[in-house]
Amino acid sequence: MANYAIFCSDPLNPRSVEPEFVGEFSAAREAGFAPVLIDHDALDQRIDPKQALRSAKFVEPGRAVYRGWMLRSDAYAALFEATRELGAELLTPPSAYEACHHAPGSYATLRAFTPETTWVTKERLDHPADIDAALSTFGEQPVVIKDWVKSQASGYWDEACFIPSATDRNAASRVIQKFRELQGDSLVGGIVFKRYVPLLPVGKPADEHRAFIINGAALGCWPRSNAAAAREGPPAELVSQVAALVPSPFASADFAVDASGRWWLLEVGDGQVSGLPSDTAAKPLFEALASKLKRA
């Protein structure tokens, strides 16, 4: 049985790995994986797994992991079925991918660790009663919004992310409308409303730490920036509690601390499409994945 690591190819040089993943490609080989290249655009934009996998070679049956750019849930499901037909089954089933890649998917399990969250599906966004019901959970508290996958926090915080008071429906309507305009056809699932927590450093991007989780245990937890590296990371007990509850065999989890010293789980993600917080994480990550697949 072989272990396969599936990476995105370079669009300018399809026989080479996407430059962003060169280090991981090498780490995967060192850990005993046979690297496989796929065409991300053919898979994610056109949902054409046969075209995406046209150059892929699975020389014997085995297990596989994907490490690459984000995929829509239907594209990932197509990849899962296509690789299975070729004899290589991905570690993460489509249901687990969606549970961690889409914000509402893991909330019921992990709500004790994360700020209060509600959501409205895409089909109900033009129904004011649904928006009111979602916002009423928060009283007068400030709220941030995103879709199932992404926010506009980095570029349009005031216009399309932050609602100063959930009771101010006019302000909420403006923020929601701007967010929808910016997301356009790329809006995924609907809109998520999350209670705003003033994370450190207040008024600036939070000093986040990212853990990678395999089979319910945290492999490690790394700072996501130089500023975060100067801050002690989340308590090991918290990371372990979250890891034990994550609804996927391979996931990531992001943490940050607020002004009172409380650490929060900000979100979880699918481990296959979450960026490495540090180049040093590649070697232990693929070694742990190889061990997991061997046991499976």
pLDDT in tens, 243-282: 999 999 999 999 999 999 999 999 999 999 999 998 899 9
What are 59-101's pLDDT values in tens digits?
Answer: 999 999 999 999 999 999 999 999 999 999 999 999 999 999 9
Same domain, 190 and 213: no
Which of the listed residues 174, 195, 216 is the one where a domain comes to its end?
Answer: 195
What are 115-173's pLDDT values in tens digits?
Answer: 999 999 999 999 999 999 999 999 999 999 999 999 999 999 999 999 999 999 999 99
Same domain, 176 and 233: no
Same domain, 209 and 179: no
Same domain, 80 and 132: no
Same domain, 176 and 236: no
Task: Quote the pLDDT of residue 292.
Answer: 87
Same domain, 104 and 207: yes
Same domain, 130 and 85: no
Which of the listed residues 175, 195, 215 is the one where a domain comes to its end?
Answer: 195
Same domain, 189 and 218: no
Same domain, 124 and 191: yes
Q: Where residue 1 falls among pLDDT bands split at 50, 70, 90? A: confident
223 φ, ψ to 5°? -65, 145
CATH number at residue 7: 3.40.50
Task: Quote the pLDDT of residue 296.
Answer: 65
Q: Has residue 283 been placed in a domain?
A: no
Same domain, 185 and 126: yes
Tell me: pLDDT of 112 over 90: yes
What are 31-51's pLDDT values in tens digits?
Answer: 999 999 999 999 999 999 999
Sheet with 250-257, strands from edge to edge, namely 217-223, 209-214, 250-257, 263-270
Residue 5: is it exposed, middle or buried by C-beta count within 10 angstroms (0-12/13-18/19+)?
Answer: buried
Which amino acid, residue 226? N
Same domain, 207 and 190: no
Q: Has residue 244 been placed in a domain?
A: yes
Task: Quote the pLDDT of residue 158.
Answer: 95
CATH number at residue 261: 3.30.470.20
Q: Has residue 133 been placed in a domain?
A: yes
The C-alpha atoms of residue 236 and residue 226 are separated, in whole angstroms, by: 20
| Range(s) of the domain holding residue 32 | 2-92
What are 175-195's pLDDT values in tens digits?
Answer: 999 999 999 999 999 999 999
Task: Quote the pLDDT of residue 294.
Answer: 80
Q: Provide the domain count of the chain.
A: 3
Read off the pTM.
0.95
CATH number at residue 121: 3.30.1490
Strand spans (E) along 71-185: 88-90, 117-121, 143-146, 162-163
